[in-house]
Structure 1
Amino acid sequence: MWQRLLMVCVLAGPACAWFAVAQDQPPRAYRVGVVPKNSAEQFELAFWESIKDSNHVSDYEAYLKAYPKGRFAALAQARIARLRAAAPRGAAAAAEQSGPKEAPLKAPPASTATAAPAKPTAPPAMPPAPARAVAAGADIKDCPACPTLVSIPAASFSMGSNASDPSEKPAHPVNVAVPFAIGRYEVSVQEWNACAAAGACPKVDQSPNSGPNAPMRDVSWDDAQQYAKWLARISGKPYRLPTEAEWELAARGGTTTSYWWGAQMVQGKANCRECGKPWSEDAPANVGSFAANPYGLFDTSGGVWEWVADCWHNNYKGAPADARAWDEPNCRVRVIRGGSWREGASYMVATTRFKYDASVRHSQNGFRVVRSLK
């Protein structure tokens, strides 16, 4: 008996993704229809698409943890067995240390564990400094290791969209009454590594082609919280993740159109699959490789998905009318915004939102930080 491959075509927006699944039947092509951005199928497909060519056992282990009965579960188990059988004794663990991993932060598999760097004597915590008035758009650098921030003025805007994905409805007025400062760029590998070197953040290996100015990725929401707490300690400033309302206000840059640059997609404005050069399927472009929005923020569309503080809700019914994080007790599913370099142009709109478990590290997920100015 011989095996054939079942080719499954999944339409996600304008793109068609083909997946090969081992079967004992003649090959047939199936169209399973358009998969909405806000669907369980799309979440799983996005996860699988990002790891399907991986040579790391931990990627497939993470998939099975998230989707133990998923459509690719049998294939994931087969690849784990094949990779373990092919690896020389003692080499499997070493292989797991390189390349992106989908490993959860809590109770990670032994193969993904990395030795924590020696912790130097922690600097004394700085007392909170009094707030100073900061002009809108001015650069803020609170400490040598701190990311560069840009100030965002208080404003009211319409959040969400009635013409896009169901998760983005209803469009609703939001008043951000207090100005805040947000990272001009997504947190970079170099900035993350400074926290890891201080023993305050986990060491998360990046792909070999990721330089110091690449956006930090493969980090969970829990990881991002650790980084923000470290910045708060060394700077004396109240660093945190942005709320979803703050993030969208900043990403829009004061505009009201679908994209911050206008109503239509324009090549060369963002780092995505259909956005023009520079683009590589293997990794996102360095931070700041594309034009900034009117507020001076880079890569709010594409690059890497960005964690925000809010708990995931399927839509905006009952959402706060101010800039508070929309949280829930014991919430473990958190919001990510902005799309990544692996998505198409339809994901680059300012209202795009998605979700992941707070403990999952995914190779397309990163973040930027904020702090209050009052």
Structure 2
Amino acid sequence: MSCTNQKPRNSLFRTALPITLIAALSVGIFQQAGFFEPSPPTSADFEPQTVVVPPRAYKYRSDGEFVKGTAPVDAPMKAVVAADNLTITKYQVTASQYAACVLDGGCAPADAPPATGVEIPVTGVSFDDAVAYARWLSDKTGDYWTLPTDEQLAQAAGKRFPDDALGLDPDNKNPAIRWLADYEREARERSKRDPVPRPIGSFGENEFGLADFGGNVWEWTSTCHRRVHLYKNGSVRASEAICGVYVTVAGHRSPVSSFIRDPKGGGCSVGTPPDNLGFRLVKSTRWYAPLLRKLRDTGWIA
């Protein structure tokens, strides 16, 4: 009996030991190569306030333009099981935080009037500007900061994440019905336009403590816009990613070209343009985050 029980234990030990040794050796190599450097001594001066969104299961409307045959249809609902905590900035990056990056030479000046007296989100920034700030903040803090994906923003935004569906019958072949519904929705969105950025905290917090989501600053994500073509039964026939155009989110989704800073002047690919463009960031808490930062710095990953 004891011999029978010993075989699986020996087998498990023989399998686990090489894996453990390889992992330990890899960590040692990465440390010697400088991938796991200590945080800069001034990192706390630049660390933004964050919230931690717990793991959860949720549903949200998929991003992108969906077409069945030749007719546009509502995107399907997507079920997600987020197994890990998500650490994300509580507020959108502020004008003063971004100005520090500009002063340090890491960012281009925003196309927005300077803030006076109150702390407001930075606006007038492109996708490229937001990525530059994320890299600068990573250097200053020793952490790995990135723009959130559309899915991560849905996880963090909770009940405030928008549902852009028109709710029309997907099998209705009369295009006039959808055109009218699109027109009515855009008229409602334009009537709610509020172009002046408000002080941080003006739009309250959601159930996870995330502040100001869904206000009048649309947030850049790292998710490329896409067009999805469906068969008649609803299954996917083809999906075309349009990188260079990225999803922005607030009261509704809006795909915007990466170089656009003022969406009111053009660059919105679909629907009503955002009032303003800003962003918040996600911090990776995985053990290999320093490696990711180094790989990004050396150009191995974007």
Identify whether the pair has TM-score above 0.5, normalized to the shorter chain: yes
1:296 aligned onto 2:197? no
CA contact (8 A) 1:184 1:298 kept: yes
Displacement after TM superposition at 1:126 (Å): 9.2
TM-score (norm 2): 0.57
Displacement after TM superposition at 1:290 (Å): 2.5
1:158 pairs, out of 42, 54, 59, with 59
Provide the residue aligned with 2:157 in structure 1.
251
Provide the residue aligned with 1:331 in structure 2.
243
Q: 1:359, 1:188 → 2: CA distance?
A: 20
Provide the residue aligned with 2:259 in structure 1.
359
Residue by residue, what CA displacement relative to the aligned partner does 1:261-296 show, whole Å, maximum 9, x if unpaired?
Answer: xxxxxxxxxxx9877xxxx95512111112200100
1:368 aligned onto 2:247? no
CA contact (8 A) 1:160 1:171 kept: yes
* Amino acid of the structure 2 residue aligned with 1:228: A
| More helix by percentage | 2
The 5 Å alignment of 1:61-210 reads 127=36, 143-160=44-61, 169-207=75-113
Displacement after TM superposition at 1:303 (Å): 2.4
Provide the residue aligned with 2:16 in structure 1.
none
Provide the residue aligned with 1:230 in structure 2.
136
Displacement after TM superposition at 1:314 (Å): 3.6
Displacement after TM superposition at 1:147 (Å): 2.0
CA contact (8 A) 1:190 1:212 kept: no
CA contact (8 A) 1:154 1:177 kept: yes
Query: Judging changes above 3 Å, is the alpha-carbon distance between structure 1 residues 332 and 167 closer, same or farther for their aligned structure 2 residues?
Result: farther
Q: 2:206, 2:57 → 1: CA distance?
A: 18
* Amino acid of the structure 1 residue aligned with 2:257: D
The 5 Å alignment of 1:28-47 reads none
Percent identity, aligned pairs only?
A: 30
In structure 2, runs of 5+ residues without a counterpart are: 1-33, 67-71, 165-188, 231-238, 264-275, 287-302
* Amino acid of the structure 2 residue aligned with 1:357: S
Displacement after TM superposition at 1:369 (Å): 0.5
Displacement after TM superposition at 1:202 (Å): 0.8
CA contact (8 A) 1:186 1:215 kept: yes
Q: 1:212, 1:256 → 2: CA distance?
A: 27
Query: Judging changes above 3 Å, is the alpha-carbon distance between structure 1 residues 242 and 211 closer, same or farther for their aligned structure 2 residues?
Result: farther
| More strand by percentage | 2
Q: 1:225, 1:167 → 2: CA distance?
A: 32
Query: Judging changes above 3 Å, is the alpha-carbon distance between structure 1 residues 258 and 327 closer, same or farther for their aligned structure 2 residues?
Result: closer
Displacement after TM superposition at 1:180 (Å): 1.9
Query: Judging changes above 3 Å, is the alpha-carbon distance between structure 1 residues 225 and 161 closer, same or farther for their aligned structure 2 residues?
Result: closer
Query: Judging changes above 3 Å, is the alpha-carbon distance between structure 1 residues 201 and 257 closer, same or farther for their aligned structure 2 residues?
Result: closer
Q: 1:327, 1:148 → 2: CA distance?
A: 36
Q: 1:256, 1:355 → 2: CA distance?
A: 16
* Amino acid of the structure 1 residue aligned with 2:95: V
Residue by residue, what CA displacement relative to the aligned partner does 1:297-349 show, whole Å, maximum 9, x if unpaired?
Answer: 111112211000010014597xxxxxxxx995x821111011xxxxxxxxx3x
Displacement after TM superposition at 1:167 (Å): 7.6
Which SS does the other structure have where 2:226 is aligned?
coil
Q: 1:183, 1:213 → 2: CA distance?
A: 15
Query: Judging changes above 3 Å, is the alpha-carbon distance between structure 1 residues 327 and 147 closer, same or farther for their aligned structure 2 residues?
Result: farther
Aligned length: 200
In structure 1, runs of 5+ residues without a counterpart are: 1-124, 131-141, 260-271, 318-325, 339-347
Q: Could you say which structure has the greater relative contact order, defined with CA pairs below 8 angstroms and 6 or more residues apart?
A: 2
Q: What is the root-mean-square deviation in Å for CA atoms of aligned residues?
A: 3.6
CA contact (8 A) 2:92 2:121 kept: yes
